[in-house]
Amino acid sequence: MSKVLIVGKNGNLGRELVSLYPEATAWGRTELDVADESAVLNKITELKPDIVFNCTAYNDVDGAEQNPAPANQINAKGPETLAKVCDQISATLVHFSTGQVFAGDSKDGYTETDTPQPINAYGQSKLTGEQAVANFCQKYYIIRTEWLYAKPSTSGTSKKSFIDIMLKMAKAGKPIKAVDDEFGKPTYARDLAIMSKELVEQNLVYGIYHGINEGLASRYDWAKETFRIKNIEADLTPVPASTFPPRAAKRPQYEVLNNTKFPKLRSWQDALKDYLTNN
Ligand SMILES: NC(=O)c1ccc[n+]([C@@H]2O[C@H](COP(=O)([O-])OP(=O)(O)OC[C@H]3O[C@@H](n4cnc5c(N)ncnc54)[C@H](OP(=O)(O)O)[C@@H]3O)[C@@H](O)[C@H]2O)c1
């Protein structure tokens, strides 16, 4: 049986992978700081896993624009070190990236082979991480995803789920404005974790994959469907993104990944219903 290591065990995706691999070694930031090059090299060489899932990330898109250093450390340098050590011990590295490596100006979205062109520092840090993984490790899967959600994390730094924010606002009876002119594919972290496990177990060809639930949505569509499934009467209004004050980082208007290499995952509406009724 393969020896599996999950790094970033407390994040949205990390927790789902840990539940799929109960026998795996799983490390959070306190067990392994991916920015600490010698710790990564020493601890992983000593463990000698066959497969490493890297679920660590710096996901604060506006924070990265103001100060790119931590994003570069965790999203670019960390994966580079992981790629080097995985290559040395002949392990397979499964690394995750984002739709924000693309410019986001194509309504039709992007396939695995389209040329990345990030428009913000976060996207650039993730692209540099992708390139390091591909350059330094022979056995790798890079899985890009977007608009990820999972059960609320116990980790203070983990990215907050849009769904939880919407539910909290509705519960407080607050009027909610949700953007209806930016688009993406809401993706359940459990579905992404299952896809990642299948990729590895089926020994599919190494390279870049897109892991997303199917179908396009705006944040408004996503919030509306959440309230419909939960039977909540919310005061929800669609608004253009320009309604809100400008953010530090530009966002792609169409963060739309197309999966052309792996059997398609279920629709975002079916995944959302599963998540909301079973959590
Ligand atoms: N969330 C999204 O909407 C989204 C969208 C597109 C792509 N992605 C990608 O999908 C993957 C998974 O994202 P996610 O939402 O699961 O992320 P997440 O919930 O924010 O979790 C990231 C984890 O990384 C860990 N981490 C941060 N810095 C670290 C360091 N220096 N050393 C070790 N661990 C560190 C954090 O650990 P602690 O908990 O210990 O602080 C946290 O648990 C990432 O590659 C991300 O870029 C996510």
Q: Decide whether any atom of ligand 1 lies within 6 Å of the 59 Cβ.
A: yes
Q: Is the pTM above the cut of 0.95?
A: yes
Give the burial class of 121: count Cβ atoms within 10 A of its Cβ; 0-12 exposed, 13-18 middle, 19 or more buried: buried
* Distance from residue 104's CA to the centre of ligand 1 (Å): 22
Number of separate domains in the chain: 1
Q: Decide whether any atom of ligand 1 lies within 6 Å of the 147 Cβ.
A: yes
Using CA positions, which residue lies closest to atom 25 of ligand 1? 56
- Two structure tokens written together for 90: 């002949």
Active site residue 209: no
Contact 2, 21 (CB under 8 A): no
- Two structure tokens written together for 270: 């079916």
Contact 271, 87 (CB under 8 A): no
Range of the domain at 200: 1-279
pLDDT tens for the chain, residues 1 to 279: 899 999 999 999 999 999 999 999 999 999 999 999 999 999 999 999 999 999 999 999 999 999 999 999 999 999 999 999 999 999 999 999 999 999 999 999 999 999 999 999 999 999 999 999 999 999 999 999 999 999 877 666 666 789 999 999 999 999 999 999 999 999 999 999 999 999 999 999 999 999 999 999 999 999 999 999 999 999 999 999 999 999 999 999 999 999 999 999 999 999 999 999 998
Q: Check which CATH number belongs to the domain holding 174 and give it.
A: 3.40.50.720
